Structure 1
Amino acid sequence: MIDYIETLATEIGPVKSALLATIFTWLMTALGASIVFLFKNVNRAFFDTMLGFTGGVMIAASFWSLLNPSLNFAQDIYPTIPWFPVAVGFLVGGLFIFGLDKFLPHLHINFKKTETEGLPTTWHKSTLLLLAITLHNIPEGLAIGILFGAAAQGLDGTTVAAAVALAIGIGVQNFPEGMAVSMPLRRNGASRWKAFWYGQLSAIVEPIAGVLGAISMIYMKNVLPFALSFAAGAMIFVVVEEVIPETQRDKYTDLATLGFMVGFVVMMILDVSFG
């Protein structure tokens, strides 16, 4: 199966491969949002556990899929200072999301309307929640696109299988994110279709970011260590600033922590097995 996927990806090219992979992650978000057709509420213990799982997947992907390959490439491209592009890319990635976080009005899951971040606004709580998840998805799409672009360059340590593994891991953790938008909307009186629409819409940015990431790798091979570590820094910022705090606001912190550990192990196994 993996051989078939690698052959297919080679035939259609990195940009289309990244597009298909990120469409998959978007569809997983839509699948999570579709739960609103079956239930109006989700058990908080389950929800916090899945949020923890999301954080674990993102942290593992940041190292195994992005930072580790970035260090390997930097040793070949910048042998005298291999740490420099990785460190710079990582910090710039975090600062990029920091900037968006400060300017884009948004509201994290499980937070009150009075805890809205970004520029002051009168936007509805559901819109702010949607923007928070959208902000969360930008680095995920970039990471997938960059990895497909790197694999297409034939660089050691990057394979189509590794890019597919990353897409699978991110797709799995996108499932609860879809619920995280649609369920609150439904509880606040929105129709099932409206709640579903906004839930799936939160991940539509991933195919866009994925395509941009793949294109950047085609034309800027020498910046690969920067690009990989940039995506890693952006994802780490999201986990520490957003995902982890969201799991620590109720009595299910231990379950969320266990979910985090399981998510980390699942993503590590996927990346090591297929990478």
Structure 2
Amino acid sequence: MSDVLFGTILSAMSTGLGALIILFISGSMTHRWRDTLLAFTAGIMMAASTMGLIPEALSIGGFLPLAIGTFLGVFTLTLLEKNIPHIDLEHSKKGIEFDEKAMLIIAAITLHNIPEGLSVGVSYASENGGDTGNLIAFAIGLQNAPEGFLVALFLVNQKISKIKAFLIATLTGTIEIVTGLLGYYLTSYVSYLVPYGLAFAAGAMLFIIYKELIPESHGDGHERTSTYSFIIGLLFMVLLIELF
């Protein structure tokens, strides 16, 4: 119980850690750095899903639960994307521009964090709960950090003070604590759901990687840099898997 609580809090609060940067910068983040960061987190999440979640789901439940859970994860993220507005970044050399209203963005980011929290909680309910859960919590946390920064940056651009922007961005990640614990208890007490839950988490992560992170990191002429960053991120997570 202490492990899942610590892991969900760590991954959720990474949103605030990323938002913390807004207090120390005066301008915007260049597209090159932003694309590099997005690609790095994509590599982290790719390794976590393909070397952590998918093998674990396959060993516990076999191929059918893996396939069903993966498509459920993809389908859930597809519904969220179609029905909930989210940050759309204009690809230009001038910097990052936002055109959505603040409350819609806050609600959207908060709701998009629900499957991420579930992913962490379900991972702790697997047979190798500690190892797999820590791995996924770390991967989700790394993905949440730039997300928190972008939310805070958007709010500052809407003339909200830096302190308020930091606090609001941090709060958007707290939903992951609730959904993480929900996912953990649900799969712990209904054990046959574990492989489906792990596969669901993998599907959700793969959707985010291919639909969001990779395209956004390749939209401004930094494809080669982003590709290198993706590979470095993947190898970094593989190294962590091997070490820990």
In the superposition, the TM-score normalised over structure 1's length comes to 0.78
Give the match for residue 86 of structure 1.
66
Q: How does 1:140-159 map to 2 (within 5 A)?
A: 140-150=116-126, 155=127, 158-159=128-129
**Quick check: 1:242 aligned with 2:212?**
yes
Tell me which amino acid in the other structure corresponds to 1:183: L
AA aligned to 1:64 is M
Long gaps (5+) in structure 2:
92-96
Is residue 2:19 matched to residue 1:33?
yes
SS of alignment partner, residue 228 of structure 2: helix
Match of 2:88 among 108, 120, 138: 108
CA change 1:246–1:130 in 2 (3 A) is farther
Measure the CA separation in 1 of the matches of 2:145 and 2:136. Answer: 15
Q: Is the CA contact 1:109–1:180 (under 8 Å) kept in the aligned structure 2?
A: no
1:185-196 correspondence runs (5 A): 185-196=155-166
Q: Distance in 2 between matches of 1:21 and 1:248?
A: 31
Match of 1:231 among 201, 210, 216: 201
The residue type paired with residue 17 of structure 1 is D
Q: Which one-letter code corresponds to 1:98 in the other structure? A: T
In the TM superposition, what is the alpha-carbon distance from 1:49 to its structure 2 partner?
0.6
Partner letter of residue 215 of structure 2?
Answer: P
Aligned to 1:137: 113
| Structure-1 residue corresponding to 2:40 | 53
Contact 1:55 1:244 in 2 (8 A): yes
* Counterpart-to-counterpart distance in 2, 1:43 and 1:90: 34
Task: Summarize deviations over 1:179-215 as a string: whole Å, max 9, x none.
Answer: 1111232234321122212321332221122111101
Percent identity of equivalent pairs: 34
Task: Give the residue type in structure 1 aligned to 2:11.
Answer: T
Change (3 A) 1:106 1:237: same
> What secondary structure sits across from 2:125 in the alignment?
helix
- Structure of larger gyration radius: 1
Aligned residue type for 2:170: Q
- Letter of the aligned partner of 2:22 in structure 1? V
Q: Distance in 2 between matches of 1:147 and 1:209?
A: 12
Question: In structure 2, what is the equivalent of residue 10 of structure 1?
Answer: none
1:272 aligned onto 2:242: yes
Q: Is the 8 A contact 1:166 1:271 kept in 2?
A: no
What amino acid is the match of 1:268?
V
Residues 135 and 193 (structure 1), Cα distance of their counterparts in 2 relative to 1, 3 Å cut: same
**Kindly tell me: are residues 237 and 172 of structure 1, through their superposed partners in 2, closer, same or farther at Cα, counting changes over 3 Å?**
closer
Q: Which one-letter code corresponds to 1:138 in the other structure?
A: I
The alpha carbon displacement at 1:96 in A equals 1.1
Q: Amino acid of the residue matched to residue 31 of structure 2?
A: R
Q: Deviations over 1:155-195 (max 9, x none)?
A: 3xx14133223322332332222111112322343211222
Q: CA deviation at 1:268?
A: 2.0
1:110 CA displacement? 4.1
Q: How many residues align?
A: 238
- Paired residues of 2:88 and 2:98 also in contact (CA < 8 A): no
Please report how far the alpha carbon of residue 88 of structure 1 lies from its aligned counterpart in structure 2 after TM superposition: 0.9
Q: Secondary structure at the match of 1:45?
A: helix
Q: Which moved more, 1:183-192 or 1:36-45?
A: 183-192
Root-mean-square deviation (CA), in Å? 2.1
- The answer for the alignment partner of 1:119 in structure 2 is none
Unpaired stretches in structure 1, ≥5 consecutive residues: 1-12, 75-81, 115-122
- SS at structure 1 position matched to 2:164: helix
